[in-house]
Structure 1
Amino acid sequence: MSEEILVNVTPMETRVALVENGVLQEVHIERTLRRGIVGNIYKGKVVRVLPGMQAAFVDIGLERAAFIHASEISNREGPAVEPISALVHEGQALVVQVTKDPIGTKGARLTTHLSVPSRFLVYMPKTPHVGISLKIEEEAERERLKQIVAHCVEQEAIAEPGGFILRTAAEAAREEDILVDIRYVRRLWQQISQQLNSAPSPSVIYEDLPLALRTLRDLTSARIEKVRVDSRETFQKVEQFVHELMPGCEDRLEHYPGERPIFDLYGVEDEIQKAMERKVILKSGGHLVIDQTEAMTTIDVNTGAFVGHRNLGETIFKTNLEAATAIARQLRLRNLGGIIIIDFIDMEDAEHQRQVLRTLEKQLERDHAKTNIIGITELGLVQMTRKRTRESLEQILCEPCPCCSGRGIQKTAESVCYEIFREILREARAYQAEAYMVLASQAVVDRLLDEESGNVADLEVFIERPIRFQVETMYTQEQYDVVPM
């Protein structure tokens, strides 16, 4: 399987696309004015302690105070976490790291368990522990990596009680590469430690890498064949970063100087537009309907026009298999997180259910975000979670519709006409006027003068006043005004 990373840079934003076999799988967007803050380390100030929630709000210099739970401060695990009031107090300075960006009305989420990432590992200066990514499954490889880290720590004569977590990218890595990373993260931590002593509260101590470099650090694996960058300046920064931290990858870098935009060349722009739509068409003729809400994301699978060539059970099975693959891709592409409920088409055969779930699990193995399939409910719904750290694609690119306020529906012209009639009756009873002027949208006025003209005439007779109409082109279908003349 061939994978490529495409980096599109403009002064306003940087966009990164991960393409597998010519198909867009992930897209990451970072706006210059709204950079994500996950991974940033701050010296904050506790502004409010909430004993009932076992949590505190911390001012880290952002518009909204950030949130930290007692378990993210305590060194204990499980139910034995100390009360929050025993851990922090108002006005206290606290060194924290952001684990989740502010999303919607919620502030950033924080932890005091600091970590500094590099290509192959994450350094945890306060946690004396060596862990290995669960995605590295082979026991012999896990043991080899543990021994390499132990040898590197001994060789470097590291005295501090820090620890390391080896990332999935460390699989099959050489000892010298891991040693380079260990030296890099410890150097970085020394710089951070020096700043912590003198910095005021609140202030930022360490900012994670910009998107182009962060992508190289986090997404580059043996499967990535090319990294194409369309900006000369960014390409030079990428080259320098790769030279310092990822030697051996230089030959995969390529500057794209073409006239045609790089995202157009690979059809990425079209795919981003499609990722804004509720409906995803499957090749078989079936489709998915994806609804993102505050509480969860729901995905409904429909056969649509697909009737198959065999029996109904086989048709449903084939549609669900195709849907499982498409869903895994859509979760990555749209960066959907939190609780996800999938309503596959009902399958009576238990083996078919098992195969569809297995397909979904297999397709999610390539997902860089942590996913967890909980199982099928009594109603036949698949429950799963996907770790949410940054805003979804929809949250970055869109805002609620000003006409429907995010409901996705609006009142019909007929409903608005009847509201107007009720409003005229209220006005006629409350105020004396010679006539009434109705200001409304084109669709509503058209209906009032056509299908509702008989009702308008009856109303004029009833209130003994004439009613006039005026189209307001700037009004939405639900907006109107009744003005006494």
Structure 2
Amino acid sequence: MREIYIEKRNDLRRIAIKEVNILTECFIEEETFEPIPGEIYKGIIKNIVPGIKSAFVDIGHKNNAYMSLSESELKILKKGSEVLVEVVKEELNGKGAKVIKTFSIPGKYVVLETANTKRVFSRKIKNQEVIKTLKEVIKTPEGIGITFRTNSQFAKHEDIQEEIDRLYKEYERIVRDFKYSIRPCKLFGESSIIYKVLRDNINSKTSKIIVDSKEDYEICKEYLKEINTVDLEFYGEARTLFDFYGIEKEILSLRNNKVNLKCGGYIIIEKTEAMYVIDVNSGKHVTGRNIEKTAEETNVEAAKEIARQVKLRNLAGIIVVDFIDMKKKESKECVIKALNSSFIGDRNKSKIFDFTELNLIQISRMRKGKSIYEHIEEECPLCKGHGKRLKLSYIYLLIKNEILKSNVEGKIKDFHIEINEEYKEAVNGNMFEFIKEIGALDLNIYLNFKDFSEYYKVEALLFNNQIDNVKEYLVKVIEKY
């Protein structure tokens, strides 16, 4: 069964999805007030660059968005032209968001689209009788495209029709507001990724949603008001929800480039400047006498795990996979089939290419949102950006969780904390922020920095002799404030 965990802390929302207790997807959303994919804007073209067939568009944010243009659009559009656009990629490294001139409005059962005027059905709807019935019964507006989502095959026809009518009214409102708005502005956009996650993941397989903020609890409660098959729970403890349910540990493990397989093999995930490279190794899975069969079994399991890791880490762009060599065409087809089936339902469009002559498989995956690394890692100042380390803010969160785990009843007042010395300058530069972020303003913190392989250690001090051993590291009251 599927379980959804929604954690909201300050300006960061994290959503984890587990299938049969296995983490399958993780969404991280920062409240940056920057344009996000799915939002629709009225924009004004500020500049056109024919050489790269692009236009830069003012959509009301600090950085202008950019939009690719066709040959005909280059002739029609001019500086100052008003355009109705949808954000498809968020801002990155000072570069504005990417926008397109078509847009879509998603619903639970259908998606209304301006890119075409066709009726399209999800690939997961296999029953041709269902498709035939939907075509005959459901009325769709002229001049607009409708994509029937997987959920539509299980929905009442009147519910689908009602949603289409509602989405079309929203479409008319967007077009009307575009026409009468004077300045660039946002015309449509859900305030949080939570709506998309609920829309895409609430079905007969979903058993439970656990939420730790009142705001998100009310959103889920409203969404589930006509659904009685999903349990909604509120988590109100001080310890973070992700830490309590062991999800934090799983997220941290995503920093490892090695992932072990149940069969005894393993995969290695490496990032280069141009792409991600994944290597499949047989490891301990070498007991079988049939080398071809062993390679096939390892590769099939690796294919499924690769798809899971790509989605969890939100890897995008070009991904090259070096599978264990196989000779038979049938074996290769099994691996391709396993990859394709494992990517079904992926929120990012992906394409899998056949084996090359060198036994490599290429995967292209559209970029949506940041990778998991961008949320929990930062450039290491000691190696001038050539390496990555855990974000200091993330370490503060992990330390706070350790303190809360040790101090459930609130009776322990003394803690010894060791932090890797590479963070010494940053922590000492703002000691108050450190003490505040780890929730220790009313505690005695004994802090020192150490050259070790770990990022931090937290020890609860229960006895006087423990305190005496570290008393020289006590953070003074004046440093706290």
Distance 2:198 2:98 in 1: 25
Which amino acid in the other structure matches residue 279 of structure 2?
Answer: D
2:266 maps to 1:298: no
Corresponding residue for 2:252?
273
Change (3 A) 1:349 1:405: farther
Aligned length: 391
Distance 1:282 1:251 in 2: 32
| Greater relative contact order (CA < 8 Å, ≥ 6 in sequence) | 1
Instruction: Confirm or deny: 8 A CA contact 1:56 1:84 kept in the other structure.
Output: no
Return the TM-score normalized by structure 1.
0.73
Change (3 A) 1:306 1:163: closer
Instruction: Confirm or deny: 8 A CA contact 1:49 1:84 kept in the other structure.
Output: no
Corresponding residue for 1:351?
330
Correspondence for 1:212 among 194, 198, 204? 194
Correspondence for 1:114 among 93, 103, 107? 103
Instruction: Confirm or deny: 8 A CA contact 1:38 1:100 kept in the other structure.
Output: yes
Change (3 A) 1:91 1:250: farther
Distance 2:308 2:374 in 1: 18
Change (3 A) 1:280 1:135: same
Cα deviations by residue, 1:285-311 (Å, 9 ceiling, x for unpaired): 322111234532211112234432434
Unaligned ranges ≥5, structure 2: 389-420, 422-449, 452-481
- DSSP-derived class of the 1:376 partner: coil
Instruction: Map 1:85-164 onto structure 2 (within 5 A).
Output: 85-104=74-93, 106-124=95-113, 127-150=116-139, 153=140, 161-164=143-146
Which amino acid in the other structure matches residue 87 of structure 1?
Answer: I
Corresponding residue for 1:420?
none
Return the TM-score normalized by structure 2.
0.74
Distance 2:355 2:93 in 1: 30
Instruction: Map 1:389-428 onto structure 2 (within 5 A).
Output: 389-408=368-387
Correspondence for 1:83 among 55, 72, 78? 72
Distance 1:126 1:359 in 2: 31
Correspondence for 1:173 among 127, 140, 155? 155
Instruction: Confirm or deny: 8 A CA contact 2:41 2:86 kept in the other structure.
Output: yes
Corresponding residue for 1:24?
23
Unaligned ranges ≥5, structure 1: 72-81, 410-441, 443-472, 475-485
Instruction: Confirm or deny: 8 A CA contact 1:239 1:250 kept in the other structure.
Output: no
* Paired-residue identity, %: 34
Cα deviations by residue, 1:140-165 (Å, 9 ceiling, x for unpaired): 22222222322xx4xxxx5x633322
Corresponding residue for 2:393?
none
Correspondence for 2:367 among 374, 388, 413? 388
Corresponding residue for 1:7?
6
Distance 1:126 1:298 in 2: 34
Change (3 A) 1:286 1:106: farther
Which amino acid in the other structure matches residue 119 of structure 1?
Answer: K
2:44 maps to 1:45: yes
Post-superposition shift, 1:52?
2.7
Which amino acid in the other structure matches residue 48 of structure 2?
Answer: V
Post-superposition shift, 1:328?
1.1
Distance 1:228 1:88 in 2: 48
Distance 1:267 1:311 in 2: 39
Change (3 A) 1:240 1:130: same
Which amino acid in the other structure matches residue 239 of structure 1?
Answer: K
Instruction: Confirm or deny: 8 A CA contact 2:35 2:87 kept in the other structure.
Output: no
Corresponding residue for 2:342?
363
Change (3 A) 1:141 1:235: same
Corresponding residue for 1:460?
none
Which amino acid in the other structure matches residue 145 of structure 1?
Answer: L
Distance 2:273 2:37 in 1: 20
Correspondence for 1:239 among 214, 221, 235? 221
